[in-house]
Amino acid sequence: MKRKMSVLLIAVMIVALLSACVKNSNAKPSGSSDPKSEAASGKDVLTIATTAEQGTIDPAVTMDNSAWKLTYPAYERLVEYDGGSTKVKPGLAKEWKVSKDGKTWTFTLNEGHKFADGTAVNADAVKKSFERLRKIGKGPSEVFSVISNIKAENPTTVIFTLKENFPPFISTLAANYGSIVNPKVMDHEQNGDLGQNYLATATMGSGPYKLAKWKKGEYVRLDQNKYASKKPSFKKVYFKIVADPSAQRLQLEKGEIDIAEGIPVDQINAVKKIENAKLLQEPSLLVEYVYVNSTKGNKALKNKKVRQALSYAVDYDKLIDAVQQGYGTKMRGPIPKGLWGHDDQAKQYTYDKDKAKALLKEAGASNLSLDLLYSDNKTWWETEALTIQSNLKDIGVKVNLKKVAYATSREMMDKGEFDLALGMWSPDFGDPYAFMNYWYDSKNFGLAGNRAFYKNDAVDQKLRKAATLNDAKQREKLYQEAQNTVIDDAPYILLYQKDFLMPISKGVKGFVYNPMLESMYNLADMSK
């Protein structure tokens, strides 16, 4: 009998083995390039715990912040964000000028920048990089759809011609999709994919680091780019997947990781008790708000007074406490604090039940019943939805919670199939355009940005004008005017700006938080 049992076990093992032996013939000998053992900790190694595996990391394809944390240090851009500010400074370009009509941008490149294979970064590489991105035609290409032509005048001069004046253009170049890719990527082209398959798990940039190893589901390792103009302190940087927050906390405590990215706000206070770690806290540009469907939802929402009543009904301070443990700042106007264009004097709705009830009465809206759409994408949305439901109940508005899968929620938001919906927004470039024009211009209905399906011709006009002026003062004035109108029209309930919270080992120095580079690190300036 025992023999039979072992036969059974062996049979199971064999089938298991056979089914696991996929593409056995591709087997590679071990230890070819990597040494058997390399230090995983120490002064010249940084280990960051992340919660999820990155998708593709091709800068011309990905729109995902978690992929950007790998690409940002591996590539360089024409201009870079300056330290912790939303303004830009020279990067690959040492200087640039804009023509009077704002349509021609001429960049002069710094010499001496090299890709990780030693090739020099020149104007032709810049041109080809943007052309590749536009040809691929995925998410990032939308941002650069304003470009009509790129010309490499000489090895150090590149000229962009725009279809129209677009002042935020310079900020878009500092974002991740402005990363300049080595033109040799085309050597890796398969079936006309412009190297997308290759670059999904590789880097070909001139940044201080390059991707050295990607162990699926376990970690990604960045090594120094030996040709980079800057020599960072860390020789290796690991992005290690530790999906469970409690495990991250334990590993931070034991010094096995230096930065823990995935500890949710309800567990963050425990981090403060860890002796060798500290909690970084900075206001971020990530904002939480509720879309109030002004044209396609419940008919009552077309009435401005009803929308204002909703904005008065929310107990903001309690909500921030309940949902973010107090780690948030109540919004004042749609442009968040920390971004230029923010208005300290803008009107702010405060919790006022009686006023809300009075407004509803004036509007003649009684027995209002609204659907609140949200998904499981953010862990705190459940609490947030429940808090809003109970707040609105106090003014006699019934809220039906409608929780759906993330992808489904996006589809419904795009089509306007909701009354109220929870949302989060972060700007792609450091310009008030990233809030005002996306949120309120009626040409951006749906997921594109105007998720409240809000239309006001006067606002449209002001926003479109602001988007084509080069004078920052004039633009600011226009945005301020538009802001006053949209706050009064209340197509969104503006909740709060989330705080950026990062548990980091006390030994790590030099990290600078830039609100435009959420979840990215200035690795080259950091040390232990």
139 forms part of the interface with other proteins (CB under 8 A)? yes
Size, binding site for other proteins by CB under 8 A: 80
Task: Tell me which residue of 241, 199, 205 sits closest to 224, measured CA to CA.
Answer: 205
217 forms part of the interface with other proteins (CB under 8 A)? yes
Which structure tokens are listed for 93?
A: 């370009």
| Residue positions counted in the chain | 528
CA 245 to CA 42: how far, in whole Å? Answer: 23
Shortest separation between residue 72's beta carbon and other proteins, angstroms = 17
- Give residues with Cβ within 8 angstroms of 115, minimum separation 6: 121, 125, 182, 184, 204, 205, 206, 225, 227
Q: What is the DSSP string of 455-503?
A: --HHHHHHHHHHTT---HHHHHHHHHHHHHHHHHH-SEEEEEEEEEEEE
CA 321 to CA 323: how far, in whole Å? Answer: 6
Task: Tell me which residue of 148, 170, 30, 158 sits closest to 90, measured CA to CA.
Answer: 170
Site for other proteins in 420-439 (CB under 8 A): 428, 438
CB nearer to other proteins: pick between 219 and 513: 219
CA 12 to CA 29: how far, in whole Å? Answer: 27
244 forms part of the interface with other proteins (CB under 8 A)? yes
Options 171, 225, 251, 293; binder of other proteins; rule CB under 8 A: 251
Options 11, 280, 401, 472; binder of other proteins; rule CB under 8 A: 11
Options 94, 95, 137, 400; binder of other proteins; rule CB under 8 A: 137
Interface stretch with other proteins, choices 91-99, 112-120, 212-220, 510-518 (CB under 8 A): 212-220
202 forms part of the interface with other proteins (CB under 8 A)? no
Options 103, 114, 138, 235; binder of other proteins; rule CB under 8 A: 138
142 forms part of the interface with other proteins (CB under 8 A)? yes
CA-to-CA separations, 306 to 238, 355, 487, in angstroms, rounded: 51, 11, 14
Interface stretch with other proteins, choices 163-171, 312-320, 400-408, 470-478 (CB under 8 A): 400-408
Options 10, 186, 401, 448; binder of other proteins; rule CB under 8 A: 448
273 forms part of the interface with other proteins (CB under 8 A)? no
CB nearer to other proteins: pick between 145 and 461: 145
CB nearer to other proteins: pick between 215 and 393: 215
Q: What is the DSSP string of 218-256?
A: TEEEEEE-TT-SS--S-SEEEEEE---HHHHHHHHHTTS
Interface stretch with other proteins, choices 17-25, 202-210, 222-230, 293-301 (CB under 8 A): 17-25
Which structure tokens are listed for 211?
A: 């991707």
Q: Could you tell me if 400 and 419 are in contact, meaning their C-beta atoms sit under 8 angstroms apart?
A: no
Site for other proteins in 75-94 (CB under 8 A): none
Site for other proteins in 22-61 (CB under 8 A): 22-24, 26-31, 34-40, 52-53, 55-56, 58, 61
Give the x-and-dash track for 170-199 against other proteins (CB under 8 A): --------------------------xx--
Q: Could you tell me if 393 and 266 are in contact, meaning their C-beta atoms sit under 8 angstroms apart?
A: no
Interface stretch with other proteins, choices 80-88, 324-332, 443-451, 517-525 (CB under 8 A): 443-451
Question: Does residue 245 come out as left (phi exceeding 0), alpha (psi in the -120 to 50 range) or beta?
Answer: alpha
240 forms part of the interface with other proteins (CB under 8 A)? yes
380 forms part of the interface with other proteins (CB under 8 A)? no
CB nearer to other proteins: pick between 101 and 218: 218
The single residue listed with the structure tokens 């003062």 is: 473
CB nearer to other proteins: pick between 61 and 420: 61
